[in-house]
Amino acid sequence: MTQSQALSILKTGANVFLTGEPGSGKTYTINEYVAYLRARGIEPAITASTGIAATHIGGMTIHSWSGLGIKTKLDKNDLNKIVSNGHIAKRVRRAKVLIIDEVSMLAPETLSMIDAICREIKQSSEPFGAIQIVLVGDFFQLPPIVKTELESDPQILFSEEPSARFAYDSPAWERSNPVVCYLTEQHRQDDGDFLALLSAIRHNAFANDHLCRIETRRIAPHAAPSGAPKLFSHNADVDRVNDQILAKLSGEPQMFAMSSQGPAPLVAALKKGCLSPETLGLKVGAAVMFTKNDPQEGFVNGTLGTVEKFDKHDGHPVIKTRSGRRIEVEPMDWAMEENGAIRARITQLPLRLAWAITVHKSQGMSLEEAVVDLSAVFEFGQGYVALSRVRRLSGLHLLGWNKRAFQVHPEVAAKDAKFRVESEQAAHRFGNMAGDETTAMQERFVRACGGKTISEVRPSTPTASYVPRTANESGNTRHERRWERTLTLIRSGKTIAAVAAMCGRTEGTILQHLETLRGLGKLSAQDIAHLGRGSEPAIAKIHAAFRELGTDKLSPVFEKLGGAYSYDQLRLARIMLNERFAREIPIPSGFEKVRETNPNAYLSWDKSQDEKLRELFVKGSSFVDLAKTFSRTSGAIKSRLVKLGLLNQ
């Protein structure tokens, strides 16, 4: 099934299981569906089975969303406590669409408990309380961790693996009867032989000829390419390798600490899922990996590079990527959103040391090359996940493997064959529907969710045709379409927050679009004049700081202004920072009049001015005289004296 077919089925409101091989575009398809819903005023609940997956998609774990937490069993008392929690109940009652990513790592019992919670809160006997349920994942990926009774009860000496281990074994899965959408396109691997090898593992048909190809990629530990990340199955190996190699580099490490905003439990969940560490130590020569996507800047999650230097003004690392591109890396946000609002945020450099990483944390990455050690693989699918991170066979360097390395769960292999058949049947069934019938179903679902139907899709709206994520700027038509859509909405008078909600993007991404449009010469002052309306004094202060420091970097300005303005506010002001924009953006008459009589109004103070103000105030100068001396308003003089501790507020 193609992505456009799957997207069309999702829009009808049918429960869906979206699956496919790594690199088939599952995440992209979901992002397109989320953007479609938000453009119609419907806010989906976006969740995932793990913190890492939740962080990737800007959502929260399904355990947190449902109020289930760490519970492995749900009795009547537990259910009543969850239902009586006003915040959880309001969240579930409001939900029309529930997306659960990485469903392969969700135990069947957990899915059944989520179903029970939704039905109880919604007071509906329908599966999941009649919420559209969208399950996303690939069961060949890592399975859920099974905690047997042996772990919780020391009296039990022996236990067997539960007969029902996967989410599709849950009665809730059967009752919801999801339409299987099995994506069959491939956008990560471009090596035919490697694809055949991965396909053989996936079908449990790994044979001697495949092993011979694997043998050609075996290397001795000392022959491992120095810049390629090493994938291990255990955290201890990863920490050991990264710490040892960093210590061997000369000089003291530059330390970068993560900052956070929001309730402690939500911040903790974001930190747990973030691939960048809370404290990142870097040295010149350190191998690093980007942990977020920013194609405009030239990197995606998994892009490799080396620390070349640290900027002398703001201390940010300058990374030279494998392609030779140099990128000064600035802090980025990981946010948890709910109903279009950001509830928690963490900020850190989108980097981590890349000499080693666990197989688990590599999920979702696309690597040009990797050194892989599969000799300690202990779980079905672990080897498959590690191998499928790499784009082609020539980029794979194997230190070793064990018997389980090239095995997948036999039950999953059998189930996968059924999923493929069901997907083909669904494609045929929906494909035979008349176009008007499909459109009518989609519009009925939008109305049922309380959304607004759009009779005509704007020409600038992106289609569901997949373009692989790449740092290559040439021919990046998908991003160009998104920039154009952003420009159209901004020109219509929408705010950045409104555009972000309509496009299914963060406000930071919309700012990136505006920065790119300005760089391309496609953004006029009048296009964004409304974005600065009401904030002219703040923008003037920020502009003054940029000019005084003689930089276009954000961090020095942020520090100079004492953190009074967010990075997003600084970025917007920077977009407006040039003479043409300063001339063309209309300034309200009141602000202009203040500047006529007080030329320094709204400009930042420097140390010499502070010293002079302190000296004159101590000598007894009046507020009126001080205002004349500094060409500022009396109110500004009083505010500055308060800040200097010379006047009570």
pLDDT band at residue 445 under the 50/70/90 scheme = very high
Q: Is the pLDDT of residue 14 over 90?
A: yes
Three-point CA angle 478, 482, 483, nearest 5°? 115
Alpha helices in 290-409 (DSSP H): 382-388
* CATH architecture observed for domain 3-143+164-188+412-431: 3-Layer(aba) Sandwich (3.40)
- Calpha distance 378→585 (Å, rounded): 62
- Calpha distance 107→169 (Å, rounded): 9
Amino acid 647 reads L
Kindly state the helix (H) or strand (E) to which residue 33 belongs, with its residue range: helix 26-39
Q: How far is CA 171 from CA 107, 108, 145, 359, in A?
A: 12, 8, 19, 31
What local confidence, expressed as pLDDT, does residue 603 receive? Answer: 62
What local confidence, expressed as pLDDT, does residue 472 receive? Answer: 38
What local confidence, expressed as pLDDT, does residue 186 receive? Answer: 65
By 3-state DSSP, what share of the chain in percent is helix, strand and coil, each rounded to 5? Answer: 45, 15, 40
For the record, the structure tokens of 399 come out as 């230190």
Alpha helices in 315-472 (DSSP H): 382-388, 410-431, 435-448
141-160: pLDDT as tens digits: 766 655 444 344 433 323 33
> Is 232 strand, coil or helix?
strand
pLDDT band at residue 105 under the 50/70/90 scheme = confident
pLDDT band at residue 196 under the 50/70/90 scheme = confident
Residue 238, CB-side half-sphere exposure with 13 Å CA sphere: 17
Find all residues with CB under 8 Å of 234, minimum gap 6, and list them.
Answer: 358, 376
261 phi and psi, to 5 degrees? -140, 140
Sequential DSSP letters for 415-451: HHHHHHHHHHHHHHHHHTS-HHHHHHHHHHHHHHTT-
Mean pLDDT of the region 280-307: 81
Indicate the range of 114-123, 144-153, 436-445, 450-459 predicted with least confidence.
Answer: 144-153
For the record, the structure tokens of 391 come out as 């784009």
**Average pLDDT, whole number, for the chain?**
79
Q: Is the pLDDT of residue 7 over 90?
A: yes
Tell me which of 189 and 576 has the higher pLDDT: 576
322 phi and psi, to 5 degrees? -60, -30
Amino acid 218 reads R
For a pLDDT cut of 90, what percent of the chain falls above it? 17
Ramachandran region, residue 532 (left: φ > 0; alpha: ψ -120 to 50; beta: rest): alpha
pTM score, whole prediction: 0.57
For the chain, which residues make up each domain, given as ranges?
A: 3-143+164-188+412-431, 197-406, 528-597, 607-643
- Calpha distance 306→355 (Å, rounded): 11
For residue 236, how many other CB atoms are within 10 A of its CB?
9
What local confidence, expressed as pLDDT, does residue 6 receive? Answer: 93
Amino acid 541 reads K
Sequential DSSP letters for 239-260: HHHHHHHHHHSSSPPEEEE-EE
Ramachandran region, residue 404 (left: φ > 0; alpha: ψ -120 to 50; beta: rest): alpha
Find which of 8-17, 326-335, 483-492 is predicted with most confidence, using mean pLDDT: 8-17
- Of 536, 610, 606, nearest to 573 by C-alpha is 536
- Calpha distance 454→439 (Å, rounded): 11
- Calpha distance 387→580 (Å, rounded): 52
Tokens 């060409």 map to which residue?
631
8 Å CB contact between 632 and 609: no
Mean pLDDT of the region 271-289: 87
Find which of 304-318, 463-477, 512-526 is predicted with most confidence, using mean pLDDT: 304-318
369-424: pLDDT as tens digits: 888 888 877 777 778 888 888 888 888 898 888 888 888 888 888 898 899 899 99
Q: Is the pLDDT of residue 583 over 70?
A: no
